[in-house]
Amino acid sequence: MSIRYSIIAADIKAKLEGFPGSGIIHSYERQVVDLAKFITLFKDTTGKICGWEITRRAVPEQWSGIVNRQHHIEIHGFMGLQDATGSSVLFQDLCDDICDCFRLASPASGAWEYGAEKCRIASSHTLTGH
């Protein structure tokens, strides 16, 4: 039986939740009609906008006596920024720190493993909120 996306996403979510300053983590790609509602999905109790969503873009398979599936997972980051303080630099550093964290880790469930390209944050987005 193939490893399920839900297990992989739960492992990644747990890893992100354990990372200081990671914010609100969603194990799936969020979608709303209204941008203001979207921003609230990543806003913590203090009003700070910071968070991540996890999704899978592809699952190519190779057959060689057994099925080998390679899950292409994307992590999208969101943070409310203040231009005057250059907080976009802090967000980019957070992205780098999270990638470093995944490069040095093994999945919590032990049911799968990170590949050679252990972490690639596919995109990072900045949001402004008042």
Dihedral of CA 69/57/16/122: which sign?
positive
Q: What pLDDT is recorded for position 129?
A: 45
Instruction: Give the global pTM.
Output: 0.79
Q: Centre a 10 Å sphere on the Cβ of residue 28 and count the other Cβ atoms it contains.
A: 13
pLDDT tens for each residue of 16-38: 998 888 899 999 999 999 989 99
Q: What pLDDT is recorded for position 68?
A: 77
Q: Which residue has the higher pLDDT, 49 or 120?
A: 49
Contact assessment for residue 91 and residue 81, using Cβ atoms and an 8 Å cutoff: yes
Mean pLDDT of the chain: 81
How many independent structural domains does the chain possess?
Answer: 1
Contact assessment for residue 79 and residue 126, using Cβ atoms and an 8 Å cutoff: yes
40 lies in which domain range? Answer: 5-127
